[in-house]
């Protein structure tokens, strides 16, 4: 038995010995340790353990750096959370209201909520948490995410030094008021983002950067950190103080650690984990295996892969070159052959999961047309690639399938334009540092939506910003004006139209060559229950508080 199998068995045994609940109710259903009645087809509470691998977090204090948390549970509850379709729903706040002008948002906290050390969760904890996220002293790389809040940008950049000037305040212990600079119809999406949690000031002041370590952490979510064995695994168990609407069915979530680049399905095949991500490279074997094929699932990706250019410098300051690069990408072939049908061609930034999606209308600008591409390159002074500068195509920490996609693009550039592009890669930190410094002329990159609103996909990614504050140097004033207007537009239909117009400007100016929108592939054991199945065959996101282990469990 492997170490991960031993962890699961040990956890089950510990739960079985220590259980105070778990007897059958009069309705022949189990009640778990925090009083939640399990569904009729659920296994006993002692078997309600979910096992899934993730890279080891650098810290669980992700309000300082989002990427430190990796893929583990985050034991903090924001004002709102999200359902399986990423729509905001009540969490720490049981309800909220907004002023007629869309600028004053009032959130009413759930009475009786407590931190894991028993202290009450208050509005002041949220005020402190938001101030901390935007304090320039902590240098949060995601501070821009909250710039809709009044004075957030000025506080974050240090031009306003009084944190109390940030547009968030506590009316009383249970009422949080957030004021935005302009109308902000997308604010519920922002406050449901995983960074936006309250912070326990007393624990942070006592323990500093170590406040989220297992012996110090104070949290407020349905789960609390139970164990962190460095280099091995971590586990979470239900918090008995949690009194909210998202009490879990599960009795434990175990995260064995592995390096991000070492993702394989071997542990899943060995029945050491219940859930696993799948790379295209493993798809043939999975579909040919009668044990694995029934477990294969597809989820909406809400992601766009694209080729970016440094548009302020030659050769990509010439729109003809940018269009030519876009026109030689056979997106249909990449999606069908390389990605095995697990993606759809992209002709714009906005993914199909968004109501603003207008990709087919954008196809006229970025569809496959190598004849036109060759003509454009001749006009630009690079016939058959002659005279074109040495080119590197940068890919961030590519998975095996993304390496294949990159090689396919490399071959298309060579075949149709006579351009040799060397594929280069870097880890996430190094890559993002160079990207934000506009130090890569050309690359193949993805953007995964933080929430399902174009404010995130378009404005945060493509609005003009100085070097160091934006991914790319592409700047078009008409685009900026449209996304600025759309961000504060309260009329839903007009807002959709404005974002579609902005998307079209980005597409036809070839700020990027959009390549594909992927689905997320995964494996889930047949005994994993409690997630939605959509009409198109995809499944909803895995919610730690909604899923449970069925009585067909076979570990």
Structure confidence at residue 221 (pLDDT): 97
Whether residues 183 and 126 fall in one domain:
yes
Cα–Cα distance for residue pair 367/345, rounded to 1 Å: 9
In a domain, 443, yes or no: yes
Q: Total structural domains in the chain?
A: 3
Greater model confidence, 53 or 262: 53
Whether residues 352 and 445 fall in one domain:
yes
Structure confidence at residue 85 (pLDDT): 83
From 162, 179, 210, give the residue that closes a domain. Answer: 210
In a domain, 321, yes or no: yes
Whether residues 443 and 392 fall in one domain:
yes
User: How confident is residue 27, by pLDDT bands cut at 50, 70 and 90?
Assistant: low
Work out the burial of residue 291: count CB atoms within 10 Å of its CB; fewer than 13 is exposed, 13-18 middle, 19 or more buried.
exposed
The model's pLDDT over 401-416, given as tens digits with 9 standing for 90+, comes to 899 999 999 999 999 9
Residue 189's domain is classified under what CATH number? 3.90.76.10
Measured torsion, CA atoms of residues 457, 479, 324, 439, in degrees rounded to the nearest 10: -70
List the single range of 23-37, 39-53, 459-473 with lowest mean pLDDT. 23-37
All residues at 6 or more sequence positions from 16 whose CB lies less than 8 Å from its CB, including other chains = 46
Work out the burial of residue 269: count CB atoms within 10 Å of its CB; fewer than 13 is exposed, 13-18 middle, 19 or more buried.
middle
The three-point CA angle 414-416-417 to 5° equals 70
In a domain, 514, yes or no: yes
Whether residues 412 and 502 fall in one domain:
yes
Judging by DSSP bridges, how do beta strands 252-256 and 49-51 pair with one another? Answer: parallel
Residue 237's domain is classified under what CATH number? 3.40.190.10
pTM of the model: 0.88
- Token pair of 422, please? 């060397």
- Is 311 within 8 Å of 317 (Cβ atoms)? yes
User: How confident is residue 2, by pLDDT bands cut at 50, 70 and 90?
Assistant: very low
Q: What average pLDDT does the structure give for the chain? A: 92
Whether residues 131 and 202 fall in one domain:
yes
For residue 480, give its domain range.
303-518
The model's pLDDT over 486-520, given as tens digits with 9 standing for 90+, comes to 999 999 999 999 999 999 999 999 999 999 999 99
Cα–Cα distance for residue pair 467/479, rounded to 1 Å: 18
The three-point CA angle 60-62-68 to 5° equals 70
Structure confidence at residue 261 (pLDDT): 56
Cα–Cα distance for residue pair 235/61, rounded to 1 Å: 16
From 187, 210, 233, give the residue that closes a domain. Answer: 210
Whether residues 173 and 243 fall in one domain:
no
In a domain, 215, yes or no: no
In a domain, 555, yes or no: no
Looking at residue 55, the DSSP 8-state letter turns out to be P
Whether residues 445 and 471 fall in one domain:
yes
Give the H/E segment covering residue 331: helix 331-333
- The DSSP secondary structure of 379-435, one letter per residue, reads HTT-GGGTTPPPEEEEEES--HHHHHHHHHHHHHHHHHH---EEEEEE-HHHHHHHH
- Is 385 within 8 Å of 418 (Cβ atoms)? yes
List the single range of 24-33, 49-58, 423-432, 458-467 with lowest mean pLDDT. 24-33
In a domain, 436, yes or no: yes
Whether residues 344 and 473 fall in one domain:
yes
Question: How many of the other CB atoms lie within 10 Å of CB of 491?
Answer: 10
- Is 444 within 8 Å of 307 (Cβ atoms)? yes
Whether residues 248 and 185 fall in one domain:
no
Q: Percentage of residues in the chain with pLDDT exceeding 70?
A: 94
Whether residues 498 and 530 fall in one domain:
no
Backbone phi, psi, residue 247, to 5°: -60, 135
Structure confidence at residue 246 (pLDDT): 97
Structure confidence at residue 74 (pLDDT): 87
User: How confident is residue 124, by pLDDT bands cut at 50, 70 and 90?
Assistant: very high
User: How confident is residue 318, by pLDDT bands cut at 50, 70 and 90?
Assistant: very high
Whether residues 183 and 292 fall in one domain:
no
Q: Percentage of residues in the chain with pLDDT exceeding 90?
A: 80
Whether residues 34 and 180 fall in one domain:
no
CA atoms within 13 A on the CB side of 42: 28
List the single range of 9-13, 56-60, 63-67, 295-299 with lowest mean pLDDT. 9-13
In a domain, 554, yes or no: no
Residue 377's domain is classified under what CATH number? 3.10.105.10
In a domain, 64, yes or no: no
From 146, 180, 210, give the residue that closes a domain. Answer: 210
SS3 letters for 286-327?
HHHCCCCHHHEEEECCCEEEEEEECCCCCCCCCHHHHHHHHH
Structure confidence at residue 417 (pLDDT): 98
Backbone phi, psi, residue 440, to 5°: -125, 115
Question: How many of the other CB atoms lie within 10 Å of CB of 452?
Answer: 21
Q: Which is nearest to 133 in space by CA: 61, 74, 205? A: 61
Greater model confidence, 18 or 359: 359
Cα–Cα distance for residue pair 456/468, rounded to 1 Å: 18
The model's pLDDT over 263-290, given as tens digits with 9 standing for 90+, comes to 678 899 999 999 999 988 888 899 999 9
Long-range contacts of 537-542 (CB under 8 A, 24+ apart): 537/298, 538/297, 538/298, 538/299, 538/300, 539/297, 539/298, 539/299, 540/83, 540/84, 540/85, 540/299, 541/82, 541/84, 541/85, 541/86, 541/299, 542/275
All residues at 6 or more sequence positions from 487 whose CB lies less than 8 Å from its CB, including other chains = 148, 182, 184, 186, 455, 459
């Amino acid at each position: 038995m492997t170490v991960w199998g031993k962890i699961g068995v040990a956890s089950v045994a510990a739960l079985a010995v220590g259980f105070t609940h778990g007897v059958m109710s009069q309705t022949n259903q189990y009640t778990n340790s925090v009083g939640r009645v399990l569904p009729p087809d659920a296994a006993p509470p002692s078997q309600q353990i979910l096992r899934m691998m993730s890279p080891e977090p650098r810290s669980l204090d992700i309000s300082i750096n989002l990427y430190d948390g990796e893929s583990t549970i985050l034991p903090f509850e924001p004002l709102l959370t999200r359902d399986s379709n990423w729509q905001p729903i009540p969490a720490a706040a049981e309800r909220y209201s907004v002023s007629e002008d869309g600028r004053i948002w009032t959130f009413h906290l759930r009475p009786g909520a407590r931190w894991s050390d028993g202290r009450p969760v208050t509005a002041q904890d949220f005020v402190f948490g938001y101030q901390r996220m935007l304090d320039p002293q902590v240098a949060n790389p995601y501070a821009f995410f909250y710039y809709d809040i009044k004075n957030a940008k000025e506080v974050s950049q240090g031009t306003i030094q009084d944190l109390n000037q940030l547009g968030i305040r506590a009316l009383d212990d249970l009422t949080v008021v957030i004021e935005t600079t302009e109308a902000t119809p997308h604010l519920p999406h922002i406050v449901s983002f995983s960074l936006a949690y309250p912070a326990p000031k007393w624990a942070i002041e006592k323990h500093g950067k170590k406040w989220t370590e297992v012996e110090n952490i104070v949290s407020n979510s349905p789960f609390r950190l139970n164990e962190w064995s460095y280099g091995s695994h971590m586990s979470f168990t239900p918090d008995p103080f949690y009194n909210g609407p998202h009490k879990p069915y599960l009795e434990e979530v175990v995260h064995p650690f592995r390096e991000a680049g070492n993702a394989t399905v071997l542990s899943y095949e060995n029945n050491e984990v219940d859930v696993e991500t799948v790379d295209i490279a493993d798809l043939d074997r999975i579909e040919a295996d009668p044990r694995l094929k029934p477990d294969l699932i597809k989820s909406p990706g809400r992601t766009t892969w694209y080729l970016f250019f440094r548009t302020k410098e030659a050769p990509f300051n010439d729109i003809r070159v940018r269009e030519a690069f876009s026109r030689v990408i056979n997106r249909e072939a990449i999606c069908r052959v390389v990605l095995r049908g697990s993606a759809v061609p992209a002709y714009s930034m906005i993914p199909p999961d968004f109501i603003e999606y207008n990709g087919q209308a954008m196809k006229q600008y970025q569809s496959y047309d190598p004849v036109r591409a060759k003509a454009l390159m001749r006009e630009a002074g690079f016939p058959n690639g002659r005279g074109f500068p040495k080119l590197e195509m940068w890919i961030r920490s590519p998975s095996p399938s993304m390496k294949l996609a990159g090689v396919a693009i490399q071959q298309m550039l060579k075949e149709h334009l006579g351009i040799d592009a060397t594929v280069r890669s870097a880890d996430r930190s190094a890559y993002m540092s160079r990207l934000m410094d506009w130090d890569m002329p050309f690359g193949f990159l993805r953007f995964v939506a933080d929430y399902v609103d174009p404010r995130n996909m378009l404005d945060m990614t493509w609005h003009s910003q100085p070097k160091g504050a934006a991914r790319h140097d592409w700047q078009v004033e008409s685009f900026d004006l449209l996304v600025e207007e759309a961000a504060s537009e309260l009329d839903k239909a007009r807002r959709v139209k404005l974002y579609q117009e902005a998307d079209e400007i980005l597409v036809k100016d070839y700020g990027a060559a959009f390549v594909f929108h992927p689905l997320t592939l995964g494996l889930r054991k047949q005994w994993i229950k409690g997630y939605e199945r959509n009409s198109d065959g995809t499944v909803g996101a895995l919610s730690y508080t909604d899923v449970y282990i069925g009585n067909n469990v076979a570990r």
